[in-house]
A and B are shown apart, each in its own frame.
Chain A
Amino acid sequence: MKRYILHITMALLVLGAAACDDYLEVDNHTATTEDNFYQTEEDAYAALYAAYNAITDDKGGTNEFEFFLNMCSDDMFTGGGSSSDGTDVRRFEKHKMLVTDWQHDQFWWRGYVGIYRTNVALEKIPNITFGDETEKARILAELKFIRAYIYSNLVRMYENIPLITEPITLADADVGQADPDEVYEQIAQDYLAAIEDLPESVEGEEGRVTKYAAQAMLARVYLFYTGFYSQTDMPGVTLNVISSLVDNIIEDNHYGLVDNFADLWLVSGSDESYYSREHVYQIPYSYNGKGASRSDVQFYGLRDLSNTSTYAAGWGFGTIHPDVYNIFDPADERRNATILDANSEVGENEYSNSYQHTGYYFKKYTPLSKYVDDPAFSGHPDGRTVVRYADVLLMAAELSLKGGAFTRTAQSYFEEVRIRAGFTTHPPVSIDRIFEERRKEFFGEGLRYWDLLRQGIDVADAAITNNYESPFDVTFDKATRGIWPIADVQIQLSSSSSKPLKQNAGY
């Protein structure tokens, strides 16, 4: 008897110990956690939309990065209400950014919020069973596209950034900054992998990316890397590979230019401003009850407008110098679609002058009464153009001139863009002419600053440093090589890790 009891006791203790691992695992059946999410196809889509959301919400505080890139380039001045309005924005314009400017902190962590969402989803979604496995592959490809897109923005803004491709934990505090080449290689890998599984068309599901978008975006990064670092190839992508990818976009004929350049923008009233055949990728912004209003638009609007039949009032940012207005040939249809000559179109006394006033404002994204006054919108639903077919054509011309193999000639790609702008005669294509064309074609779309940097620091300096009188004077800071400063607060927060973040040169 005694022995039995002893045995039973021992058995109970041992059983208890053996069962314990399971016993201590509990599930939460009403709250959603990382452990019980990522189970169904719906979960996978929700994770995907969260990642897409990150690229709509990547603002540096108040504005998307294109706004600050426009200020950094030779295209725009800050403007605003007075000398004390937007002083932090003006430091971008003057190339005197501070490590304490909050935009840098915001771009940094918002970018990494997106990276975290994609990393977690990329780890979890492969374990979900899909009815249609090609749809799963497509979602994973979209996540890779988004990750490559965010990294390509961060690496161009801040150059020395942590490269994180798996869900991070607190223990990974010593991740440190990666060699930029590693980041570019990762971008190439992600875009190339995405191209494999992305569809050619997203009709009915616009807003999701196609394989052509990945091809075009990779070409953009390739051109920046090879230009900025004076290399012939980018890690993971050769000239031949990228040329055939760009040629493929053109030859597959899914895209084309819209007939009328002005129709690309909401102000035209055309229904081609969203998801036209020219939009290879466009980030949707929406309206009341459907996500966010596009914030840059409010900044570019005229101040204190009295006649609001077309335009709604904004804050008078992004004034454009007459010298810049005048780079456009009067016959160039893009001029009046791009730049708002406020005094002639609206009337000198109908609005308040901005600081750094010129009378010229940015027209592609400007507040419109139609949407501001409509309670269904109450905001600015302007789409954020990421890459257009015109860009594909001009990149094809550029790659072709650099020796890439293309079906058509560089001259024909170049002319196709010029013809749509209203030109009938064309000079022979050259790298310089391509850059001139790009400036006019993509004015205000956030490409100019990077187009300058990739031509070399001296070209950027020559273009950005001006001899205008105050308050239009700008001196490019070559010591920074055009790279932005890493936010001081981020450096402080990483200071306890074994690989604290190092500030970029020149700050």
Chain B
Amino acid sequence: MKRLKLFFVAMLLCSVTGLLAQTLDVTGKVADEHGEAIPGVNVTVKGTSKGVITDMDGFYTINNLAAGDILVFSFIGMETQEVQLTNASGGQKMDVVLRSGNISLNEVVAVGYGTRKKSSLTAAISSVGEKDIEKTQNLRVEQALQGRTAGVTVTSSSAQPGAGMSVRIRGAGTNGNSDPLYIVDGLPVGGIDYLNPGDIASMEILKDAASSSIYGARGANGVVLITTKKGKAQAFTVTYDGFQSIQNPERKLSLMDADQYVLFYNEAQLNDGVRPMDFNRRANTDWQDEIYNKNAPMMNHSVTLNGGTERAKISSGISYFGQEGLVAPDNSNYSRITARVNAETKSHNDKLRTGTSLYYSNIESSGIDVNNIYGGPLASAYNLDPLTPVRDEHGKYGVSEYVSQGITNPVGKMEYLHSQTRTDKFVGNMFVEYSILENLKFKSSYGIDLAYVTWENYNPVYKLSPSDFNLVDDVQKSMTRYFNHNWENVVTYDLELNKHSINAVAGSTILEETSHSLWGSGVDITKTPKGEDYAYIDNTISDKETRNSSGGMGIPNRLLSFFSRVNYDYNEKYFFSATFRADGSSRFGPDNKYGYFPSFSGGWVLTNEDYAASLKSIANFIKLRASWGQNGSNHIGNFVYVSNISDAGSYVIGNPLTSGISMQGLAPNTIPTPDIRWETSEQTDIGLDAHFLDSKFTFTFDYYNKLTKDLLLAVKIPGHYGSNSPIDNAAEVRNRGYEFEFGYNDKAGAFNWGVNANISFNENEVTYIGNDEKVLGGAVVQTYGLVTRAEEGEPLGYFWGYQTDGLFQNQTDIDNMPVSVNENGDIVKMQPHAQPGDVRFIDQNGDGVLDDNDKINLGNSNPVYFYGLSLFADWKGFDVSVFMQGAGGHQIANLSRRLDAGLTNLPATMLNRWTGENSTNNEPRASIEDPNKNYSLFSDRYVVDGDYLRIKNVQLGYTFSQKALSRFKIEHLKLYVAAQNLYTFTDYSGVDVEFGSGTINSGVDTGTYPQARTFTVGMNLRF
């Protein structure tokens, strides 16, 4: 048959050209200028309809060509290249390099349970590729997402090594856990801190319901699909990536020094009518300097092996990442070792494909209390007076004479902290895919996620102050084993009929998450010498009273799901997609175990219409998209639907005066809520993708409206239920907004440059609360009380406090303040203790009484807009990139000052205090007693705009030319220097402006960890 075909082809060629027919088979790889394979490149024979498309790894094979044929390699967003074949081309590899272009329509992106060409997407999906990830020195995967795409906010509420980051996709829609679902190579994982960012090939963010509803019950907060680096059918390569950095705090709080401190408090005492005390000026300590670790090192080394054939490909790697904290280097640090193998094979006439991936991660971290006003070295450094020396004349840690409570010598505190967490995590996944028919594939995959987490803590004997001491040392240890596994079966069917193309997916998945834990403790380490090295439970006094242990199981969480999706495409012009998923969860009662999540989406490529042909010279691609769908969230913990049995008091059997015995009663503490169901998020998305000037300029726009219904929270019920408030579906939150992404790439000779920018606008509103008050309480902070809450018609978690109107400048101002008449008929001033120089609070309801009814919405921590901007350019091997990121329109409550701990150190801004009529209208007079509650009432004085723009990363690199390297058998070598967090533009005076948002109690700064300004030198080497 083959021979026959050859014969005819040959005959045809002979008759037309009259030349001697000699057929050529050409094969090769298409890559970009960095050597990265480009899948989906159109390879056509000029003047004919003959053509192929490169595979996932950039390879193509095209048969039966003749010398003189011209092969055209085209890929949108890249320069088209033509190559003429000669006789010598036959049987040779013909590799082609396509230049430039960053956004490509034919780029293939991961969607749930499959991949799809970007140009045919009907849903809002953003992707972050390997190159974006490499541009910054990330320690966590989440950082690689920050500022890269519209609609994704990534914030760190602490810059402590190993601290988690909050990732919010299109705002926060739940009262509980708003984290997205992470799927790594098809396996859902609990967190992604185990991953070395360098092992990631791409990340796709499924933002709208059309894309994420295939993940049903867990997709309400968006889904992040992570694909790790896979082996490629290429010669074996070894890649080394490494960098070494030094870190210093980006900023310090501006606090008073000893002179300012004494001046301020002496004046305060005079104002309070107290004779100024004689301050004992033992030192002028800058506690922040004392606890900061100068030039704290951070380093990363990773080696990756990659290579194989079409039949067997392998990628493996090991990496080490280590970071010392900016504060307390011994107690705030993080290290991670990872090792991985990824292998794929093809066999049985390429019908059978198998893959195995194994990932091991070992993480050791220790941290200090962050954003904790009650204690911890940071809160102490921010609040301890500068008069206390680090060490007193006897060499002991200095004890403050003026500050009390948990605020004690932070240098001493750091020494006495001994807490460490060690995690061993294995993530493994294996799949088998069989092509039953050419267009019908079955894939089965099984994955496990096993983690052992060990926590150890040792409290030595110490005394830092009369209230902060430990008389007997103690040690605790806990171990928890987490085991999750997941089995998935998916059938894929593709059909192409003329211009109609259908892709259908159906499958099921079954998931189980379990945990077991063991905890033990002991007091009084008897072994000598004492110390951390001997801090084991076995070394403590052994008796029943002092050695404790406990152990238990976590309730298994099980999920059983069925899903399907149909994509339809007519002539690359009209697209339609529908998905449906049914999820069964063990977390819900028998009647609500299953949730059903549909979605529909459609797209229209305007530029593929015949009548739009004239448009093509300006806009080569315009697509309109619309989608609607539903998602769920089962982040409610287990067994909420049944009632827990708890202590129900006791009853005495027998005579209580003599031999009676008290018998324990047990009863349900709440009524069961068997009807409890998924939180459902319903989202509509309208989008536009456009490419202009041959894709030099790209633009994406999305509008979304996301309503999270049936939010789970504790509801107040009538007394005749005889029960405490159960958890039920009782609130609704809406997030809606706009997202814009822009890209521009151009070149002038050897100079390539480009800009990528994105900006998102989000509006968050609580639309319904199912309790009588229509209000939910949020964060409570010492002295200030309840400072955030949620309310119908307001954003989730707004700052709730008093509005102020400057200061009382003189007695006339005081005489004019609002008054009320009390029950004895006396006229009472609203602020009875006010004096000139005190804060004037606003009586919102005009009743002359200052109370909760006068508290209003003072702002909230949900950014109105957030954006990212990256600039890059390269010229003859030199490249530079700048990445900036920011947010605005939101507020932060700066409550890092402890009011109940005595004469704490104060922000230097308080020196601009009121000292006489019209001296200032901002900072009230100095006072310790604070009779007017200038400081202790939570007011707009503490709520500060959180707008910022941060120069996140600047990198300057040089890539050696192939020519220079080939002598050393080196394929690629790049050296670079980089700076992170170089500068932040903000008016915020706290230590870090980047603050978490999106829960009812976020946005409150009670003394956080500074961001590191990091300078790095690094190298990428491949041979």
Q: For B593, give the chain A residue with the smallest CB separation.
A: A24
Instruction: Please tell me if the beta carbons of B555 and A28 are within 8 angstroms of each other in the complex.
Output: yes
Please indicate the chain A residues that have their CB under 8 angstroms from the CB of B723 in the complex: 113, 116, 168
B-contacting residues, A30-61, CB 8 Å: 30-35, 37, 43, 45-54, 56-57
Of the residues B437, B584, B675, contact of A24 by C-beta under 8 Å:
B584
Q: Counting CB contacts under 8 A, is A167 at the interface? A: yes
Taken together as a complex, chains A and B put the C-alpha atoms of A53 and B667 apart, in Å, by 10
Please indicate the chain A residues that have their CB under 8 angstroms from the CB of B721 in the complex: 112, 116, 168, 170
Instruction: Please tell me if the beta carbons of B644 and A33 are within 8 angstroms of each other in the complex.
Output: yes
Name the residue in B562, B638, B661, B667 with the highest tally of chain A Cβ atoms < 10 Å from its Cβ.
Answer: B667
Known: A50-B665, A205-B653, A286-B660. A24 touches B442 (CB 8 A): no
Instruction: Please tell me if the beta carbons of A9 and B442 are within 8 angstroms of each other in the complex.
Output: yes
Taken together as a complex, chains A and B put the C-alpha atoms of A162 and B722 apart, in Å, by 11
User: How far does the Cβ of B485 sit from chain A's closest Cβ, in whole Å?
Assistant: 13
Q: Counting CB contacts under 8 A, is A344 at the interface? A: no
Q: Counting CB contacts under 8 A, is B16 at the interface? A: no
Taken together as a complex, chains A and B put the C-alpha atoms of A167 and B720 apart, in Å, by 11
Known: A5-B442, A24-B586. A206 touches B718 (CB 8 A): no
Name the residue in B653, B665, B718, B772 with the highest tally of chain A Cβ atoms < 10 Å from its Cβ.
Answer: B718
Please indicate the chain A residues that have their CB under 8 angstroms from the CB of B586 in the complex: 23-26
Q: Counting CB contacts under 8 A, is B416 at the interface? A: no
Instruction: Please tell me if the beta carbons of B675 and A171 are within 8 angstroms of each other in the complex.
Output: yes
Q: For A500, give the chain B residue with the smallest CB separation.
A: B718
Q: Counting CB contacts under 8 A, is A341 at the interface? A: no
Residues 277-298 of chain A, each 1 if its beta carbon lies under 8 Å from chain B, else 0? 0000000111101111000000
A-contacting residues, B398-453, CB 8 Å: 434, 436-437, 442
Q: Counting CB contacts under 8 A, is B651 at the interface? A: yes
Taken together as a complex, chains A and B put the C-alpha atoms of A238 and B721 apart, in Å, by 32
Taken together as a complex, chains A and B put the C-alpha atoms of A26 and B638 apart, in Å, by 10
Please indicate the chain A residues that have their CB under 8 angstroms from the CB of B646 in the complex: 32
Known: A34-B642, A286-B652. A24 touches B558 (CB 8 A): yes
Please indicate the chain B residues that have their CB under 8 angstroms from the CB of A161 in the complex: 720
Q: Counting CB contacts under 8 A, is A105 at the interface? A: yes
Name the residue in A23, A24, A25, A115 with the highest tally of chain B Cβ atoms < 10 Å from its Cβ.
Answer: A24
Q: For A124, give the chain B residue with the smallest CB separation.
A: B668
Taken together as a complex, chains A and B put the C-alpha atoms of A26 and B660 apart, in Å, by 40
Q: For B650, give the chain A residue with the smallest CB separation.
A: A291
User: How far does the Cβ of A92 sit from chain B's closest Cβ, in whole Å?
Assistant: 19
User: How far does the Cβ of A155 sit from chain B's closest Cβ, in whole Å?
Assistant: 13
Q: For B509, give the chain A residue with the smallest CB separation.
A: A16
Taken together as a complex, chains A and B put the C-alpha atoms of A291 and B728 apart, in Å, by 33
User: How far does the Cβ of B822 sit from chain A's closest Cβ, in whole Å?
Assistant: 15
Of A67-75, A125-133, A406-414, A487-495, which binds chain B?
Answer: A487-495
User: How far does the Cβ of A157 sit from chain B's closest Cβ, in whole Å?
Assistant: 13
Known: A289-B662, A291-B650, A493-B716. A115 touches B638 (CB 8 A): no
Q: Counting CB contacts under 8 A, is B47 at the interface? A: no
B-contacting residues, A1-37, CB 8 Å: 2, 5-6, 9, 12-13, 16-17, 20, 23-35, 37
Taken together as a complex, chains A and B put the C-alpha atoms of A497 and B658 apart, in Å, by 49
Instruction: Please tell me if the beta carbons of A23 and B720 are within 8 angstroms of each other in the complex.
Output: no
User: How far does the Cβ of A332 sit from chain B's closest Cβ, in whole Å?
Assistant: 28
Of the residues A6, A13, A24, contact of B508 by C-beta under 8 Å:
A13
Instruction: Please tell me if the beta carbons of A29 and B553 are within 8 angstroms of each other in the complex.
Output: yes
Please indicate the chain B residues that have their CB under 8 angstroms from the CB of A49 in the complex: 648, 650-651, 663-666
Q: For A274, give the chain B residue with the smallest CB separation.
A: B655
Instruction: Please tell me if the beta carbons of A207 and B489 are within 8 angstroms of each other in the complex.
Output: no
Known: A46-B666, A116-B671, A205-B654. A493 touches B584 (CB 8 A): no
Instruction: Please tell me if the beta carbons of B645 and A169 are within 8 angstroms of each other in the complex.
Output: no
Residues 707-746 of chain B, each 1 if its beta carbon lies under 8 Å from chain A, else 0? 0000000001111111100101000000000000000000
User: How far does the Cβ of A282 sit from chain B's closest Cβ, in whole Å?
Assistant: 10
Instruction: Please tell me if the beta carbons of A493 and B585 are within 8 angstroms of each other in the complex.
Output: no
Please indicate the chain A residues that have their CB under 8 angstroms from the CB of B665 in the complex: 46-53, 117
Of the residues B434, B558, B668, B717, contact of A34 by C-beta under 8 Å:
B668
Taken together as a complex, chains A and B put the C-alpha atoms of A105 and B672 apart, in Å, by 22
Please indicate the chain B residues that have their CB under 8 angstroms from the CB of A487 in the complex: 719
Taken together as a complex, chains A and B put the C-alpha atoms of A34 and B650 apart, in Å, by 19
Instruction: Please tell me if the beta carbons of A207 and B648 are within 8 angstroms of each other in the complex.
Output: no
Please indicate the chain B residues that have their CB under 8 angstroms from the CB of A121 in the complex: 667
Q: Counting CB contacts under 8 A, is A463 at the interface? A: no
Please indicate the chain A residues that have their CB under 8 angstroms from the CB of B558 in the complex: 23-24, 26
Q: For B655, give the chain A residue with the smallest CB separation.
A: A274
Taken together as a complex, chains A and B put the C-alpha atoms of A381 and B643 apart, in Å, by 33
Of the residues A2, A52, A105, contact of B719 by C-beta under 8 Å:
A105
Instruction: Please tell me if the beta carbons of A16 and B510 are within 8 angstroms of each other in the complex.
Output: yes
Instruction: Please tell me if the beta carbons of A112 and B719 are within 8 angstroms of each other in the complex.
Output: yes
Q: For A56, give the chain B residue with the smallest CB separation.
A: B651
Known: A33-B642, A113-B722. A17 touches B562 (CB 8 A): yes
Taken together as a complex, chains A and B put the C-alpha atoms of A182 and B708 apart, in Å, by 43
Known: A47-B665, A286-B662. A24 touches B585 (CB 8 A): yes
Please indicate the chain A residues that have their CB under 8 angstroms from the CB of B671 in the complex: 116, 167-170
Instruction: Please tell me if the beta carbons of A168 and B662 are within 8 angstroms of each other in the complex.
Output: no
Instruction: Please tell me if the beta carbons of B553 and A109 are within 8 angstroms of each other in the complex.
Output: no
Taken together as a complex, chains A and B put the C-alpha atoms of A244 and B740 apart, in Å, by 87
Taken together as a complex, chains A and B put the C-alpha atoms of A17 and B650 apart, in Å, by 46
Residues 524-553 of chain B, each 1 if its beta carbon lies under 8 Å from chain A, else 0? 000000000000000000000000000011
User: How far does the Cβ of B230 sit from chain A's closest Cβ, in whole Å?
Assistant: 25
Instruction: Please tell me if the beta carbons of B722 and A117 are within 8 angstroms of each other in the complex.
Output: yes
Instruction: Please tell me if the beta carbons of A56 and B434 are within 8 angstroms of each other in the complex.
Output: no
Taken together as a complex, chains A and B put the C-alpha atoms of A43 and B671 apart, in Å, by 18
Q: For B434, give the chain A residue with the smallest CB separation.
A: A5
Q: Counting CB contacts under 8 A, is B381 at the interface? A: no
Q: Counting CB contacts under 8 A, is A208 at the interface? A: yes
Instruction: Please tell me if the beta carbons of B584 and A20 are within 8 angstroms of each other in the complex.
Output: yes
Known: A24-B584, A33-B645. A290 touches B639 (CB 8 A): no
Instruction: Please tell me if the beta carbons of A109 and B652 are within 8 angstroms of each other in the complex.
Output: no
Q: For A494, give the chain B residue with the smallest CB separation.
A: B718
Q: Counting CB contacts under 8 A, is B560 at the interface? A: yes
Q: Counting CB contacts under 8 A, is A80 at the interface? A: no
Taken together as a complex, chains A and B put the C-alpha atoms of A425 and B322 apart, in Å, by 100
Instruction: Please tell me if the beta carbons of B722 and A490 are within 8 angstroms of each other in the complex.
Output: no
Residues 257-292 of chain A, each 1 if its beta carbon lies under 8 Å from chain B, else 0? 000000000000001011100000000111101111
Q: For B666, give the chain A residue with the smallest CB separation.
A: A46
User: How far does the Cβ of A113 sit from chain B's closest Cβ, in whole Å?
Assistant: 4
User: How far does the Cβ of A120 sit from chain B's closest Cβ, in whole Å?
Assistant: 6
Q: Counting CB contacts under 8 A, is B673 at the interface? A: yes
Instruction: Please tell me if the beta carbons of B555 and A291 are within 8 angstroms of each other in the complex.
Output: no
Q: Counting CB contacts under 8 A, is B657 at the interface? A: yes
Taken together as a complex, chains A and B put the C-alpha atoms of A112 and B720 apart, in Å, by 5
Taken together as a complex, chains A and B put the C-alpha atoms of A2 and B716 apart, in Å, by 59
Of the residues A5, A26, A116, A286, contact of B668 by C-beta under 8 Å:
A116
Please indicate the chain A residues that have their CB under 8 angstroms from the CB of B656 in the complex: 274, 284-287, 290-291, 381, 383
Taken together as a complex, chains A and B put the C-alpha atoms of A270 and B178 apart, in Å, by 65
Instruction: Please tell me if the beta carbons of A206 and B649 are within 8 angstroms of each other in the complex.
Output: no
Instruction: Please tell me if the beta carbons of A120 and B675 are within 8 angstroms of each other in the complex.
Output: no
User: How far does the Cβ of B161 sit from chain A's closest Cβ, in whole Å?
Assistant: 34
Known: A206-B655, A494-B718. A50 touches B649 (CB 8 A): yes
6 tightest CB-CB pairs across the interface, nearest first?
A109-B719, A50-B665, A116-B722, A50-B648, A112-B722, A53-B649
16 A-B pairs in the complex with CB atoms less than 8 angstroms apart: A16-B510, A30-B552, A33-B645, A34-B644, A43-B666, A46-B666, A47-B665, A120-B667, A121-B667, A170-B721, A207-B654, A274-B656, A286-B660, A291-B656, A493-B717, A501-B718
| Further 19 A-B residue pairs, CB within 8 A, beyond A28-B639, A50-B648, A116-B667 | A2-B437, A16-B489, A25-B586, A26-B558, A26-B638, A32-B644, A34-B642, A37-B666, A50-B649, A52-B651, A115-B722, A168-B722, A170-B721, A207-B652, A275-B655, A291-B649, A291-B652, A383-B656, A493-B718
**Which B residues are within 8 Å of any A CB, using their own CB?**
434, 436-437, 442, 489, 491, 508, 510, 552-553, 555-558, 560, 562, 584-586, 593, 638-639, 642-646, 648-657, 660-668, 671-675, 716-723, 726, 728, 772
